[in-house]
Amino acid sequence: MARKRLQQISASPVAEGVRFRVGSAAAFAPEQGTFGFPKGDLSALRLYSAAPVGAGPYAVESYDGRTVILRANERYWKGAPAIGRIDLVEVPEKDGVMDKDTARELIEKDDVAGLIVGQPNRYGLIEDFTGLADLCHEHKALLAINTMASALAVLKTPGEWGADIACGDAQSLGIPMGFGGPYIGYLCTKEALVRKMPGRLVGATTDADGRRTFVLTMQAREQHIRREKATSNICTAQGFMCLYVACYLSLMGPKGMREVNEHSYASAHYLHDALLKTGKFEKVFEAPFLNEFTLRVKGDARKLRDALAEEGYLLGVPTLFKDNCLTIASTERRTKQEIDNMVERIKTIAL
């Protein structure tokens, strides 16, 4: 069923045994072990925590003290300074992706606690982080990768990149949009960092009668009785959101998650190409993307968005730091007919 739906969207269906038709496959996972369901692992890292705070605070709360550098213009940049315990330094972008030469210069100063990067990044682009973890570790810094949870079904996992910390938003794992929430953020680390993880960890054990049970584990006493020394005071019960995610993953499984991403990929690329063919848009970047992309409008982007909004279409969001650009997403929820209808309406709008 999913394969047929893919072919309705794209004239060139995804080839068997090939991840996706992109310019560079370096960021996409190998055929085996991409989703990690057999070992219950989305990130290829050891330990997980969850909280309502989302990806941004989780990304920066992973560090305490010293300088942290992050990819310029990332989604969590605005909220990050509120943490207040760290100095944040931006790495400039180059052609929509992180300028690796500048990142290397900053890390080699040896006063950096870590580097935070997004995957996909703010423009929807897939970045190649080859060698980045080794560079960080050589200079006693940590690498954190902020990733949309559902994309881990097909992208290289943070663990495969050699990251120490993985974080992100898990709304894409079956949680309704809900006009902005509630959502759930996730945080994963290597086992060596478990004592510094904010939030609550749940472990499996047995009770006095030998029955399987679950308890909070690896918790410092300060977490409950000396709050000023606790690793986190902002996390609360996420049972309902975790239930959403557990049900979704149980129903989808590895095959379903791959099919969702295949359809999203085909849908977004179909829309991308259709918009360019209208003559009202132009490409901004050449890097590969999954289900979100950035285009520049040849004319008044606000006028175009407002005209479409009157008819019930939301054509992306204005791209920060890029004049007259829109960042647009299309997922498995959109049909070819819906996309075609919107594109035909765009053709009639004078800019």
**Between 221 and 82, where is the model more confident?**
221
Mean pLDDT calculated for residue range 303-310? 93
In a domain, 195, yes or no: yes
Using alpha carbons only, what angle is made at residue 90 by residues 89 and 96, rounded to the nearest 5 degrees? Answer: 170
Residues 122, 72 contacting (CB under 8 angstroms): no
Model confidence pLDDT, tens digit, residues 199-256: 667 778 888 999 998 887 766 555 555 656 665 555 555 677 888 888 898 888 888 9
Number of domains in the chain: 2
Q: Is the pLDDT of residue 8 over 60?
A: no
Which of 50-54, 146-150, 198-202 is the most confident on average?
Answer: 146-150
Whichever domain contains 109, its CATH number is 3.40.640.10
If asked whether residues 195 and 220 sit together in one domain, one would say yes
pLDDT band at 71 (very low <50, low <70, confident <90, very high): low
Whichever domain contains 311, its CATH number is 3.90.1150.10
Q: Which of 222, 244, 266 is the last residue of a domain?
A: 244
If asked whether residues 103 and 204 sit together in one domain, one would say yes
In a domain, 3, yes or no: no
Using alpha carbons only, what angle is made at residue 194 by residues 193 and 198, rounded to the nearest 5 degrees? Answer: 105
**Between 337 and 167, where is the model more confident?**
337
Share of the chain above pLDDT 70, in %: 69
Q: Which of 244, 266, 287 is the last residue of a domain?
A: 244
If asked whether residues 181 and 265 sit together in one domain, one would say no
Residues 28, 156 contacting (CB under 8 angstroms): yes
In a domain, 111, yes or no: yes
- Predicted pLDDT of residue 234: 53
In a domain, 70, yes or no: yes
Q: Cα-Cα-Cα-Cα dihedral of 127, 133, 138, 139, to 10°? A: 70
Q: Provide the edge-to-edge strand list for the sheet that holds 292-297.
A: 281-283, 292-297, 325-329, 317-318
If asked whether residues 179 and 275 sit together in one domain, one would say no
If asked whether residues 176 and 291 sit together in one domain, one would say no
If asked whether residues 210 and 271 sit together in one domain, one would say no
Report the candidate in 223, 238, 225, 195 with the shortest Cα–Cα distance to residue 62.
195
Residues 251, 260 contacting (CB under 8 angstroms): no
pLDDT band at 30 (very low <50, low <70, confident <90, very high): very low
pLDDT band at 167 (very low <50, low <70, confident <90, very high): confident
Model confidence pLDDT, tens digit, residues 95-143: 999 999 999 998 888 788 888 888 899 899 999 999 999 999 999 888 9
Q: Is the pLDDT of residue 176 over 90?
A: no
**Between 231 and 276, where is the model more confident?**
276
**Between 86 and 4, where is the model more confident?**
86
In a domain, 29, yes or no: yes
> H or E stretch including 133?
helix 132-138
Mean pLDDT calculated for residue range 143-172? 88
If asked whether residues 107 and 177 sit together in one domain, one would say yes
Using alpha carbons only, what angle is made at residue 237 by residues 88 and 64, rounded to the nearest 5 degrees? Answer: 20
pLDDT band at 93 (very low <50, low <70, confident <90, very high): confident
Q: Is the pLDDT of residue 195 over 60?
A: yes
If asked whether residues 235 and 267 sit together in one domain, one would say no
In a domain, 284, yes or no: yes
Q: Is the pLDDT of residue 80 over 90?
A: no
If asked whether residues 197 and 256 sit together in one domain, one would say no
If asked whether residues 53 and 195 sit together in one domain, one would say yes
In a domain, 4, yes or no: no
- Domain residues for the domain of 343 are 252-347
If asked whether residues 194 and 260 sit together in one domain, one would say no
If asked whether residues 104 and 205 sit together in one domain, one would say yes
Q: Which of 244, 271, 299 is the last residue of a domain?
A: 244
